[in-house]
Chains A and B, each alone.
Chain A
Amino acid sequence: MHGRIRTWGPGALVLLPTVLLLGYFVYGLIAWSFNTSLTNRHTARSGPADYVGFENYGHLFSEDRFLNSLKNLGVLTVAFIVGTLIFGLIWALLLEKGVPGESIFRSVFLFPMAISMIASGVVWGWLLNPSTGDDARGLNRLFAILHLNFLENPWWTAGSRWTTMMSIALPAVWQMSGYIMALFLAGFRGIPPELREAARVDGASEFKLYRHVLFPQLSPIALSALIILGHISLKLFDLIYAITGPNQFRTEVPAILMWNTLLRSDQAKAAAIAIVMLAVVAVLVIPYLALTVRQEEKR
């Protein structure tokens, strides 16, 4: 008996604080939010509230504003992930080829990540000024100076949902592409040189080398990148808040709607939005976790 405790006891003791803290502050509070989302606590008044089942969720999914925010989020996520993966991969490919001053380029591409989104959002808000023609400012002004006037556009302030949310995704892509580049670059560097040599000896063209030898080895990294970018995009709040302000219907995503809802003390509805966001992230993350666990078991 004593012997057994000695084997698992110390381990359990080390884990205990983590389990307690995570259990309370993460999972406990998720449960609490879920509980709140089932009540009619629509003011800041304390005291008991009545349970109304899933009524709050029903209202949410029949509400124009919430559905709009979900659609915005979907478009934003697609634009952000595709854009970041493309730029990250291109930069990684260029650096992987070995350029002089590689470390400088690596840092330059990574630097945007070091800026907080609220700060870069303020500046991007100025850059994405929708004025065109003689009054053009920000990027539109740059286009005018470069005689690329056809590129001038109203950014997020007019046009379809796609152009609107792609304009919002642009700063996020700028900010996160360097990180994805670093991920892919590490992936390329982790591939043993023998594989390339063997492929070249077998007469593979450069294209075939990447297509059939190198890229397949990067797929776990691509999957990780997808998950990381996905959950960043789903939680995106500060960047949009800084660029467009908190009450912009065109660019509202669930995180911002939740903030607005909480500001008016509608706790039950805000909790319901939070739980929907959690569910959307879970749809993305849980299969990934399951996959990782299964792969680890195989080893």
Chain B
Amino acid sequence: MRGGLSKTLAVLGAAGLLAVSACGNSDDNGGSGDSAASKDVTVFTWWADGGEKAGLDGLVSVFNTECKDYKFVNAAVAGGAGSNAKQVLANDLASKNPPSTFQAHAGAELRDYINAGQVDDVSGLYKEFGLDKAFPQNLIDNLTVEGKIYSIPANVHRANVVWANPTVLKKANIDAAKAPATVDAWIADMDKLKAAGVKAPLAISKGFAQEMLVEAVLLAELGADKFTGLWNGKTDWAGADVTAALEKYKKMLSYTNADREAIDWPDALGYVNKGQAGYTLMGDWVAAQQLADKVPESSYTYWPSPGTAGNFQFLADSFTLPTGGKDPEGAKCWLKVTGSAEGQKAFNTKKGSIPARSDANPADYPKYQQSAMADWKKDKIVPSCAHGAACSVGQNNDILSAISQFSGSQDVAKLQSALGTAMKTS
């Protein structure tokens, strides 16, 4: 009996190993149709499944035709928002064994790598590939750190979007097609919803979703320039206008679901779709999620977060050129594909984001993306801290901690000083 059991276990173990190695093989081969390729280009991402994997595959197919001399090697590490991948990457970089290129949020989140001397300046490539003309100047300004640019964005997402359920809003006779003009008007609408029997009009989830709401309120109350100044040190965190905005955020938390610390953003979106809540604030990857969940377009609406119309709060996934990479020429070819019109189209139509280039054809994209692309061209571009465009990993970590503390304590003064302190660290 005993021997039988251990034998069974051994067989199971062996089968497990086989399955794992089989996965490894299929990953390695995934997308590399070109057998004549000679040099490997290791691309490190956290795009391992779903629309993200489909987007990466699209990029790879363009790479395989544009860069015939090189072979794509997938080094994806699964895990939401790169939570596992960043640890693996840190090890590889520390042991001087960098991938040919790796994925990172564009902007300040790269600062850790820059400070550690792990990524090279790619501003030369912007000129070479003509990206300085293809990307909006406003975006390039947001990506520039002390006169240098360290990555090439593959896509753009918008953070300041509110998703609403028209059926719920109708209960309180609110016109779902029109966004409230200000945060105050939005709060007034939530009061109406509460009076109409919607217990938690604003659905929100834990962590970065709350951070995004804080940012949306700050952006609405302070305006684009002062808001951007919060992240680059030009606006004082201790100001009375910040206090007033945070007080409004506190007020808004009282309209949210009690289990906000225990759920993730798809759950909060579910509350809206099911009619338990009227609104949720979340980045525009919601559009791809709604498509994937087959939620009919008539059953939800979206508009820029109240008071932030005309501002496009962006975040972007981008690729870098690590210092001391084995085959920089191959990596440069990958970066060229990433920035090219064709590469951005292949990637973004599948991932559900919009291209960073302003010369893309909206007709290639689904309905939501078309509106986002129109805004991307005309709106003022402001960075998002929650997604790495405005804050380093460390600053973001401190801010998340302060916001989770605030969710329980509701102490505005403490939150304000913690946010200010967080932005003083590196």
Contacts and interface: CB of A to CB of B under 8 A. Distances in A.
Nearest to B208: A247
Interface residues of B, number: 35
B402 A249 contact: yes
A72 interface: no
B117 interface: yes
Q: How large is the interface on A (under 10, 10 to 19, 20 to 34, 35 or more residues)?
A: 20 to 34
Interface in A195-253: 244-250, 252
A36 interface: no
Contacts of A255: none
Contacts of A45: 115-117
Nearest to B95: A46
Interface in A107-152: 125, 128-132, 135, 137
Given A130-B262, A250-B405, A263 B118 contact: no
Interface in A156-196: 156-158
B397 A260 contact: yes
A265 interface: yes
Report which residue of A156, A249, A260 has the largest number of chain B beta carbons within 10 angstroms of its beta carbon: A249
A250 B408 contact: yes
A44 interface: yes
Interface in B372-420: 392-394, 397-398, 400-402, 404-405, 407-408
Interface in B237-285: 257-262, 276
Interface string B182-201: 00000000000000000100
Interface in B100-138: 112-113, 115-118
Interface in A33-83: 42-46, 65
A265 B90 contact: yes
Nearest to B395: A264
Interface in B293-340: none
Given A129-B262, A157-B261, A263 B86 contact: yes
A246 B398 CA distance: 12
Nearest to B398: A65
B226 interface: no
B259 A131 contact: yes
B21 interface: no
Nearest to A249: B405
B408 A158 contact: yes
B405 A135 contact: no
Contact of B392 (A42, A46, A260, A264): A264
A136 B83 CA distance: 30
B395 to A, nearest CB: 9
Contact of B262 (A128, A263, A264, A265): A128
B94 interface: yes
A42 to B, nearest CB: 7
A156 B116 CA distance: 38
B426 interface: yes
A250 B404 contact: yes
A245 B206 contact: yes
B408 A157 contact: yes
A43 B392 CA distance: 12
A252 B402 CA distance: 12
A266 interface: yes
A288 B359 CA distance: 71
B207 interface: yes
A130 B405 contact: no
Given A158-B408, A249-B404, A264-B393, 12 more contacts: A130-B259, A130-B261, A131-B257, A135-B199, A135-B276, A157-B258, A247-B397, A249-B405, A250-B404, A250-B405, A265-B112, A265-B393
